[in-house]
Amino acid sequence: MINKDLLEILRCPACVREKDGLLKIYEETWLVCQDCGRKYPIVEDIPVMLIEEGDKWVKVAEKDLPVPPPMK
């Protein structure tokens, strides 16, 4: 589970320079950018905040995200 203090400082790496890049937690296993819709998996309580990872899931609806996220 992501610590609330950590969630307050994490931002979408693709959006943070031009927008807020605020993230919300989905199903305790995904961070979803409220600006661009990229989705970052949380694997073993560690957010995978790589733009390339977010790009993989940007077109997937939240309800269709695999829970838990796939391991590499």
Residue-wise pLDDT tens digits, 14-67: 998 899 999 999 999 999 999 999 999 999 989 999 999 999 999 999 999 999
| Distance between CA atoms of residues 4 and 31, nearest Å | 12
Number of domains present in the structure of the chain: 1
Rounded to two decimals, the pTM is 0.91
Which residue segment(s) compose the domain that 20 sits in?
Answer: 4-62
Q: Give the C-alpha distances (Å, rounded to integers) separating 14 from 1, 8, 66.
A: 23, 17, 22
Q: Does residue 70 sit within a domain?
A: no
Classify residue 44 by burial, with Cβ atoms within 10 Å: 0-12, 13-18, 19+: exposed
In a domain, 68, yes or no: no
- Residue 27 maps to a domain: yes
Residue 69 lies in a domain: no
64: left (phi over 0), alpha (psi -120 to 50) or beta: alpha
Domain presence at residue 72: no
Question: What pLDDT, on a 0 to 100 scale, did the predictor assign at position 72?
Answer: 66
